[in-house]
Structure 1
Amino acid sequence: MRHYRRPGAGEFPRRLFLFGSAMTSLSACTVAGGDSRLGEDVPAVALAAAPVPEPQAAEPTSAPIPGRQDIVAEFAGRTPALWGTQLPGTVVRLPEGASGTILTFDCCGGRGGNGVDQALIDTLSRAGAPATFFLNARWIRANPGTAKALAENPLFELGNHGTRHIPLSVTGRSAYGVPGTASAAEVYDEVMANQEVLHSLTGKPARFFRPGTAFLDETAIAIVHRLGLTPVSFSINGDGGATYPPATVFREINASKSGDIIISHANHPGSGTAAGIARALPALQSSGRAPIHFVHEGPGLASLRQAPGARGL
């Protein structure tokens, strides 16, 4: 097991995403009117990010997480050729024979994204439905009480949804008009600043990472793996970026098959997500597709299916 070394005090500041309008909707957590040009760079001014200090050693480990400068040196000169949401090295579905579905909910943070869909959380809790919540650092800062409650609920696992909620790139590529990280150093910062926030919240390192907008390149994927996390994408778009009405949420989730990873959102109260999930859960549970945790499938993370063509990193 890889060990996460914490910084010292004060050191961290229906199916494969429906193409067309449904694809655009994923940007609802980031900016209004996101660009719908799939995988195309959008001219934009790069966002500035404060560097994350180097982690400082504490406990012994056989596989320490590399520091910022280690990542910069290791990935210097790599030029990625791929850009998307389901690249080799990302987990898209569970392996064949999986006995249920994975519910994931993004909490994106920032302007218009700091809300809490408590009705959704309560629905999952009452139904005893496991879920993974991908939390962004801004959302955690805005909702410390809810974040703590999620962390303490054994039904839920917390994943890393980045620090600034931006695409993960080493060349500054954009998605939906949102400029991504522009170097290996910025990829490190986007992942590890929030990893420290989550470690402080839960007492353990997050296992899974999903970037803002879900876009990333293959070099960024390799960096995420080196940092001890597994990039997780999705095979079902459950709520279209919290824009679908309840009937559509139900329809999309009910179209899932065992092994599907479903993405929805938990930061837009008043959206159709909670009501749609409430209707979908009994259908999943009565048809052998009940929600499960990642950890309940296979001997470990290696058993998770990666995107088509994945050979491991």
Structure 2
Amino acid sequence: MITLLRRATAVCALSTALAACGAGRPPQPPSPPVSAPPSRPPTLAPGPTGLTPVFEHGPRTRGRTVALTFDADMTAGQGARAAAGERFDHPRLISTLRALQVPATVFMTGRWAEQYPDQARSIGRDPLFEVANHSYSHYAYTPDCYGLPTVPEKRMRSDVERAYAALRKAGVTDPMPYFRFPGGCYDRRALKALTPAGVTAVQWDVVGGDAFETDPEVVARQVLDGVRPGSVVVLHCTRSAAPATERAVRSIVPGLRREGFRFVKVSELIGAAGSGARTRPEGR
């Protein structure tokens, strides 16, 4: 009996001590689960002399993948033409890509995003697409580039940054760190000017030839004949300058699928860059 009393006393004393240690401390909520940081889009490392890397196409030997890219062009001086009724957007093309479930990369100028903010936001928030930078004003970064006005070297980086600001203001929350030179024109000087921006310049290896083309069969045939595994195809998302593109896409997509191609975004091809992606040497 004495032994039992001693044990009970010891238990009471221990309970009292534990209660005293926890006095004044509210119950602690469970720690929230640790989430992994969001993955960053793949990019290419700068070249040997630190210049902006240039990407042309993905690996040729890792499956039949192809990236359709669409340039949403509008220059800084075309506002009056848009106000007069000229359409630089192409919502029917975007609707067709959605209906066909085709992932795509849209290289958008800042001026285009300002003119069509609802469409820019819709494209930028649709997981089927990714939006990348096509400059703010669609002015050239080299002389003699299809008659485009030129951006002074000292303003090249700020032109890219202004485009990103316009994309975000329109509601594109996560524009990709990829840049397409207006007209595809660049030189060593331009690559050096953009190095601090941390972008990968994206070119192409298949020209769709849709600019000012009115026959969709011509565009479709040019793409179907040119695509190889890992190809990047350049087309346009501008009704007034590329009126046949949407109809061409309705032929291009089933045609490539019949040949066993899978459509991907540019980011997937760049992510595979360590296994045979094609980059152009620095400068030209």
Q: What is the TM-score of this pair, normalised by structure 2?
A: 0.70
Please give the alpha-carbon distance, in whole angstroms, between the structure 2 residues aligned to 1:299 and 1:164.
29
Please give the alpha-carbon distance, in whole angstroms, between the structure 2 residues aligned to 1:181 and 1:229.
18
Q: 1:299 to 1:216 in 2, by over 3 A?
A: closer
Question: Is the contact between residue 108 and residue 114 of structure 1 (CA under 8 Å) also seen in structure 2?
Answer: no
* One-letter amino acid of the counterpart of residue 262, structure 2: A
1:145-160 equivalences in 2 (<5 Å): 145-160=118-133
Q: 1:193 to 1:301 in 2, by over 3 A?
A: farther
Is 1:161 matched up with 2:125? no
The Cα of 1:295 is off from its aligned counterpart by: 2.9
> Which residue of 235, 247, 250 maps to 1:275?
247
Identity %: 23
Is 1:144 matched up with 2:117? yes
> Which residue of 71, 74, 98 maps to 1:106?
71
Question: Is the contact between residue 239 and residue 265 of structure 1 (CA under 8 Å) also seen in structure 2?
Answer: no
How many pairs were matched up? 221
> Which residue of 260, 263, 266 maps to 1:294?
266
Q: Secondary structure at the match of 1:249?
A: helix
Question: Is the contact between residue 52 and residue 194 of structure 2 (CA under 8 Å) also seen in structure 1?
Answer: no
> Which residue of 220, 233, 243 maps to 1:262?
233
* One-letter amino acid of the counterpart of residue 90, structure 1: V
Question: Is the contact between residue 224 and residue 231 of structure 1 (CA under 8 Å) also seen in structure 2?
Answer: no
Please give the alpha-carbon distance, in whole angstroms, between the structure 2 residues aligned to 1:210 and 1:223.
14
Q: 1:198 to 1:278 in 2, by over 3 A?
A: same
Please give the alpha-carbon distance, in whole angstroms, between the structure 1 residues aligned to 2:117 and 2:167.
11
Please give the alpha-carbon distance, in whole angstroms, between the structure 2 residues aligned to 1:142 and 1:208.
21
Over residues 103-159 of structure 1, what are the superposed CA-to-partner deviations in whole Å (9 max), with x where a residue is unaligned?
Answer: 010111143675222221111101110111111111111111111110111111101
Question: Is the contact between residue 96 and residue 246 of structure 2 (CA under 8 Å) also seen in structure 1?
Answer: yes
Please give the alpha-carbon distance, in whole angstroms, between the structure 2 residues aligned to 1:133 and 1:242.
19
Is 1:284 matched up with 2:252? no
Q: Secondary structure at the match of 1:252?
A: helix
Q: What is the TM-score of this pair, normalised by structure 1?
A: 0.64
The Cα of 1:289 is off from its aligned counterpart by: 1.9
Q: Secondary structure at the match of 1:101?
A: strand
Please give the alpha-carbon distance, in whole angstroms, between the structure 2 residues aligned to 1:188 and 1:115.
25
Q: 1:148 to 1:96 in 2, by over 3 A?
A: same
Counterpart in 1 of 2:150? 180
Counterpart in 2 of 1:195? 164
Q: Secondary structure at the match of 2:69?
A: strand
**After the TM superposition, which parts of structure 1 deviate over 3 Å for at least 4 consecutive aligned residues?**
297-304
Q: 1:273 to 1:217 in 2, by over 3 A?
A: same
Is 1:91 matched up with 2:91? no
Over residues 168-189 of structure 1, what are the superposed CA-to-partner deviations in whole Å (9 max), with x where a residue is unaligned?
Answer: 14xxx23122232222x21112
Q: Secondary structure at the match of 1:132?
A: strand
Counterpart in 2 of 1:12? none
Counterpart in 2 of 1:133? 106
Question: Is the contact between residue 88 and residue 306 of structure 1 (CA under 8 Å) also seen in structure 2?
Answer: no
Q: 1:114 to 1:163 in 2, by over 3 A?
A: farther
Q: Look at both structures and tell me which one has the larger radius of gyration over its CA atoms.
A: 2
Question: Is the contact between residue 242 and residue 268 of structure 1 (CA under 8 Å) also seen in structure 2?
Answer: no
Over residues 257-310 of structure 1, what are the superposed CA-to-partner deviations in whole Å (9 max), with x where a residue is unaligned?
Answer: 121111111111671110011111011112122221123347466564212xx2
Which ranges in structure 2 are unaligned for 5 or more consecutive residues? 1-50
Please give the alpha-carbon distance, in whole angstroms, between the structure 2 residues aligned to 1:289 and 1:239.
20
Q: 1:248 to 1:222 in 2, by over 3 A?
A: same
Question: Is the contact between residue 168 and residue 187 of structure 1 (CA under 8 Å) also seen in structure 2?
Answer: yes
Over residues 39-72 of structure 1, what are the superposed CA-to-partner deviations in whole Å (9 max), with x where a residue is unaligned?
Answer: xxxxxxxxxxxxxxxxxxxxxxxxxxxxxxxxxx
Q: Secondary structure at the match of 1:175?
A: coil
